[in-house]
Structure 1
């Protein structure tokens, strides 16, 4: 078990995002979170990552989780190489950052201020590829990706299945059908 939600509820002020939600993710599973804007997909990912606390219930997480927000957050003045080297050092990992830049077709020395949103998303995928967390929490990972980027994402999710668990929030039902073992439909409270 990588993450378990036990009858959780989350409220902001007087408004409940969801109530009494239970969920379990095992290694090797890919689960898609579906639902309209405001249904709680991002909130649920943040709860699983430990970035938010539930109003009710309990979140139990094992292993290392990595949350990929939409849009991904980076330092604009750093290059892709500098970002990947920093991430590897910060997490105490080793990895072939050059291979990651090649695979995700990213320039080595261009500052992120010059990157398109699709290039930033590719860098976020390269980060996942290098760090290989146990639990991947992805918020609309397909957004801003072109066809080649989506193919890279699909391949990466297939690889993740071998050693991790993935929860991804998406509006793209085609992506969900292509990569997910199951889907959790959120409607809000």
Structure 2
């Protein structure tokens, strides 16, 4: 198993966001997290990534996770090329950043301050493909993507199945039905 959650609960102050959630994810599997705003989807992804700790329960990860928040976080003064080169160096990875930028139709030398939200999301997807983490944690990856961007997202998710596990939080049931092996509904805790 790449990921196992056992009776995980999370509380902020007096408010419980998640209660007694158990889940397992194996390599090659895609799990969609569905639910209304405030149901704990992003909190759950952050717990899976190890960015926050559960109030109760246990999270076990095997392999290297990579969390793609919504919106993706980038330094606005750097270019797409500079971001990808930094990421490759930081993670000690090798990859063809030029091919990644071409595949996602991104200009290499334009500062991200000039990028649209959809272009930033495409850059985040290019980053995932270059870094090839074992565990992909995606928060609303479809947001701000045009039709071509959504097509690329579906391609990327299919490629992820070949060696990684994917958990994606989404409001888009059609996307969940198209890519997920199973879905987890999160309601109010």
Tell me the TM-score normalized by structure 2.
0.99
Matched with 1:32 is: 32
2:128 maps to 128
Which residue is equivalent to 1:61? 61
CA apart distance, 1:105: 0.4
CA–CA separation in structure 1 for the residues paired with 2:67 and 2:188: 21
Cα separation, 2, equivalents of 1:2 and 1:143: 26
C-alpha separation in 2, matches of 1:18 and 1:68 = 20
Distance, in Å, in 2 between the alignment partners of 1:10 and 1:183 is: 20
User: In the TM superposition, what is the alpha-carbon distance from 1:29 to its structure 2 partner?
Assistant: 0.2
Query: Given the alignment of the two structures, is residue 81 of structure 1 paired with residue 90 of structure 2, yes or no?
Result: no
Matches within 5 A, 1:156-167: 156-167=156-167
Secondary structure at 2:130 match in 1? helix
Match in the other structure for 2:173: 173
Aligned to 1:71: 71
Question: Alignment length, in residue pairs?
Answer: 189
- Residue 115 of structure 1 is matched in structure 2 by 115
| Deviation >2 Å, runs of 4+ | none
Q: Which residue of 2 aligns with 1:92?
A: 92
Structure 2: distance between partners of 1:53 and 1:82: 32
Report the alpha carbon displacement of residue 32 of structure 1 after superposing the two structures with TM.
Answer: 0.2
Return the alpha-carbon distance in structure 2 between the equivalents of residues 34 and 16 of structure 1: 18
Give the alignment's Cα RMSD to 1 decimal: 0.4
Q: State the alpha-carbon separation in 1 of the partners of residues 63 and 188 from structure 2.
A: 28
Q: Which residue of 1 aligns with 2:52?
A: 52
Gaps of 5+ in 1: none
Q: Distance in 2 between matches of 1:22 and 1:179?
A: 21
Quote the offset at 1:125 in angstroms: 0.3
SS of 1:21's equivalent in the other structure is: strand
